[in-house]
Structure 1
Amino acid sequence: MQNITKLNTERRNPNTTKIDTYSTREILETINKEDEVITGAVKKTIPEIEKIVDYASEHIPQGGRIIYMGAGTSGRLGVLDASECPPTYGVSFEMVQGIIAGGFPALLKAKEGAEDDAELGRSDLKELNITIHDTVIGIAASGRTPYVIGALQYANEVGAFTGAISCVEDSEISKHAKARIEAITGPEVISGSTRMKAGTAQKLILNMISTSTMIKMGKVYSNYMVDLNPSNEKLVIRAKNMIKEVVGCDDETCDRLFEDSKHNVKLAICMGLTGHSIEECMQALTDNSGHLHLAIKSLNN
C-alpha cells in the first residue's frame, strides 16, 4: 500500500484539530480563513497556465481541442468547465471536453475504482482520436491518479500538448506533462477532503484556462461574451442587453439588429457600430479570425 500521508493534500491541518468542538460560526470562519490561501497558491502557477493557453489558442483553429481528464471531484470539475463553454462562447461541444473516469454515471455517484486504472485512461483518450493539435490536461488533487497518468502517457505518445493540474509538490502527474501546474493549497480543513481548498483551486485554474483561451480566440469583445448562444429566455435578454450597451441604441434598434443578424450578437454589434451589412460584417470577422475589435477597425478605415 502506498504511503500518501506525506502529500500536501493528505496532511493533518494543525489549525482545525478541534473543529468538531466549534460553534457553527467558528466552523464557518475557520473554513473561510483557510480558503484565503487559495488565490495566492493559484497565482504562483500562472506561468504554467500561460503555456497551456498559448498552445490551445494557437492550435484550436487548426482543429485542436482542450480535453480534461480526471477522476472523482477533479473529473467532475473538468466536465463542468467543458460543458459551460458552448452556451457561453458559442463553440462546439467537441472543442472543450471533460472526460471522467467511470463515464457519465461517475458524475452522479462516485466510482472510486475507476481512478486506479491507467489503461482505462489510455483507452478513453484513444477513443477521441487525438492529434498534435490537441491539448490534454490531467487533473488530480493528489497528483497521483493512475487514470490520469495513463491518459497523459498516451497523449505524449501521439504528440499532443499535455498539462497537469495538482495540489501537491513534485506530483506524479507533473512528470508526464509539459505544463506543470501545482497549486499548493496545503492540508484541508477536514483531512483529505480535497473537494474543498484543492477543488476550489482546480476550479479557478480551469476557469482561467478556458476563459483566457476564448478571449485569445476572439470570443470576447471588451469584456462581453459576444459569441454566446442565446438558447433560452435568460440568454436572449443577456444578448439584447449586450447589444444595447455596446451599440448605445434603443430597444427598437436593438430588436432590429438582433433579428437582422439572425440572433448573432457579434454580428449585431458589428452592424450597429459600423452601419455595414451582415455580409460585410461576416467577411470582416472571417478576415480577422473572429476578433470583433479588429473587424470593426477594418470596416471603419
Structure 2
Amino acid sequence: MVSRLISDRRREPEPLPSDPTAAREVVRASRHRRRMEARRKRYLIAGVMAAAGLLAALGLTRQLFFASDSGGTADKAPVRQEQPMLAPPSQPASPPPEAGAAKGDGTFAYATTDGPIAGAGGGLKKYRVAVENGAELQADAFAAAVEKTYADPRGWTAAGELKLQRVKGEGPADFTVFLATPVTSEAMCATAGLHTDGYSSCRITGKVIINLARWNTAIPDYGAPLAEYRTYVINHETGHELGRGHEACPAAGKPAPVMMQQTYGLKGCVANSWPFVDGQQYTGPKVP
C-alpha cells in the first residue's frame, strides 16, 4: 500500500545507448533512482508507523487517565460500562447551594478503618471508599453509609452468594466506591465514554462513582426521602460492578427495580432502593 503512495505504475526499462560510456551512465542513473525511491519508501513507512504509534499512545493516555488510584489491582483493569446511559435531564442554570461543591481538586481521601464482613455466604469481595478532597464530607462518614447499605438484609448480600468487606486506606481491593464532585465524576466516567454532563453517577470497571450533587439533593420528584435515594444509587452502581445490567419499570404503580435508571425518572413506578423486596430478588424487564 505504501509503495502505491509513491507510484501506481511500474517503470518501463530504459533503452541503453549504443555508446558504452553513455550506457554506463544510464545504468548508474537508473540504480541511483532506484536507491532514492527505496529510501523514500523507508521514510514513508517510518512516518506512517510513527503516526500510528502516536495515535495509539494518545488513546492509551486517555484510557488510563483516572483509571488507577494508587494501590490494589482491581482499578487497573480496562474501564468499561455494559450499557449506554440515558441523556441527563435539563438542569437549572445554577445548582442549589445544598448540592455542594461543583468541583474539587481531583484527589481523594480514603476511609481510615476496616469494616466487618457483610453477608453470610459466597465469595468475598473487598472494597475501598474514597471522597474527593473539596467535597466537604469526611471519607469515614461516607464509608459508614456505604457499609450500612451493603450490610442490610435487603441488599446484594441477601442471597447468601456474596460477602462484602471494606478495607482501610488504599489497600488491595476488588473495587472502590468514590464520592466525587460533578466535574470530577464527569471526567472519571468519560474515561469509559460515558458523558453524564456532571449530573448522574456511573460505574466503570473497578470503580463505583457517586455524583456529589445527586448524593446531596437526589432528583426532583423522587417521591422518597433523600436517604432512600442515596441507598438506591449505591445499590444501582454496585449492581453494575456485580455484573447486573439495566432493567425497566415492570408496570405502573409497581416498585422500581434497583437496576432501573431511577435518576432519569420512575416511568410510572414507585421509588425503590433495594435489590431484594419481601425476601425475594426483585427485577424488571431487561433493557437491551
TM bracket, shorter-chain basis: under 0.3
| Greater radius of gyration (CA) | 2
TM-score (structure 2 length as normaliser): 0.25
Structure number with higher strand proportion: 2
TM-score (structure 1 length as normaliser): 0.24
